[in-house]
């Protein structure tokens, strides 16, 4: 599952990494949550452009096995079944997008609590998660549309945290993912777990747990925390 994303790069960095003609105006985001705007890169008329879509598709069919929010938004789609799921198969054929990120968060259950980790490239910099998108529904005329993030089996690093991870695309696969005319086999070849040696999972504090929290505080190391009764419990780091 992928339930929180960070995108802290500048517009110039994004344009260079994803081959955009124009650098978008970006505000650093450290705690992007479902239902909020999520920046995506799409291809139209042979050129790439960026824009915001709502993170989460309205549930229109059975989403068994998919990650969703309490409000009913589908936020993740399993890559293994995306070509056959009624909720996703048309978008998988025709409406694929790149979802740029500086990193994403995952939670590990330990000591009866869930501790957040920030997953990023070991070398730093941007990467792209595989996404699909839908145009706005008739009931949402002012919306730009919505998107979901594809997930796959975890690599050995993510397996210590969760049983799913987002599909991270290699840069050489960006154009294939965005093309209109592409074979299902070429797409399936991009949906494997990303090599674990390229990623780092750094423990962070509990600020990211609340989507109202924003800014670099979300990436600060874990420190002494209070439980629900106001009692101090000791710092925890990765096992």
Give the domain CATH number at 14.
3.90.1680.10
Catalytically active residues, by annotation = 2, 106
In a domain, 127, yes or no: yes
In a domain, 200, yes or no: yes
Rounded to an integer, the average pLDDT of 142-159 is 93
pLDDT for the residue numbered 30: 98
What are the angstrom distances between the C-alpha of 85 and each of 2, 4, 63, 127, 189? 19, 24, 8, 27, 19
In contact, 117 and 108? CB cutoff 8 Å: yes
In a domain, 239, yes or no: no
Among 115, 236, 106, 204, smallest CA distance to 159 is for: 106
pLDDT higher than threshold 50 for residue 104: yes
In a domain, 185, yes or no: yes
- The answer for residues whose C-beta is within 8 angstroms of residue 117's C-beta and 6 or more apart is 105, 106, 107, 108, 161, 201, 202, 203, 204, 238
Per the structure, how many domains does the chain have? 1
Complete DSSP assignment for the chain: ----EEE---HHHHHHHHT-SSPPP---EEEE-TTSEEEEEEEETTEEEEEEEEESEEP-S--TTS-B-TTSEE-EEETTTTTT-TTTHHHHHH-EEEEEESEEEEEEEETTEEEEEEEEETT-S-EEEEEEEEPPPTT-TT---EEEEEEE---HHHHTT-S-EE-EEPGGGHHHHH-SS--HHHHHTT-SPPPGGGEEEEE--GGGGSTT--SGGGGSPP--EE-TTS-EE------
**Mean pLDDT of the chain, nearest integer:** 88
Residue labelled with tokens 């999520």: 38
pLDDT higher than threshold 60 for residue 62: no
pLDDT higher than threshold 60 for residue 239: no
pLDDT for the residue numbered 35: 94
In a domain, 154, yes or no: yes
pLDDT for the residue numbered 109: 87
pLDDT for the residue numbered 111: 76
State which residues form the domain around 170. 5-233
In a domain, 238, yes or no: no
pLDDT higher than threshold 50 for residue 112: yes
pLDDT for the residue numbered 142: 67
């Amino acid at each position: 599952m992928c339930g929180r994303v960070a995108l802290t790069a500048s517009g110039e960095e994004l344009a260079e990494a994803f081959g955009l003609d124009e650098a978008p105006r970006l505000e650093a985001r450290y705690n992007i949550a479902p239902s909020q705007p999520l920046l995506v890169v799409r291809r139209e008329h042979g050129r790439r452009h960026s824009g915001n879509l709502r993170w989460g598709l309205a549930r229109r069919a059975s989403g068994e096995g998919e990650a969703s929010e309490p409000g009913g938004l589908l936020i993740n789609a399993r890559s293994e079944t995306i070509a056959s799921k009624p909720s996703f198969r048309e978008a998988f054929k025709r409406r694929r997008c790149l979802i740029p990120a500086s990193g994403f968060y995952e939670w590990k259950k330990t000591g009866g609590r869930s501790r957040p980790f920030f997953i990023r490239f070991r070398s730093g910099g941007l990467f792209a998660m595989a996404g699909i998108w839908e145009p706005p529904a008739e009931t949402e005329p002012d919306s730009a549309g919505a998107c979901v993030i594809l997930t796959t089996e975890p690599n050995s690093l993510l397996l210590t945290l969760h049983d799913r991870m987002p599909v991270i695309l290699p840069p050489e696969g960006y154009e294939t993912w965005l093309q209109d005319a592409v074979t299902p086999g070429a797409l399936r070849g991009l949906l494997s777990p990303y090599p674990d040696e390229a990623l780092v999972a750094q423990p962070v504090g509990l600020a990211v747990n609340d989507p109202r929290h924003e800014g670099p505080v979300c990436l600060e190391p874990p420190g002494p925390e209070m439980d629900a009764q106001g009692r101090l419990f000791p710092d925890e780091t990765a096992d």
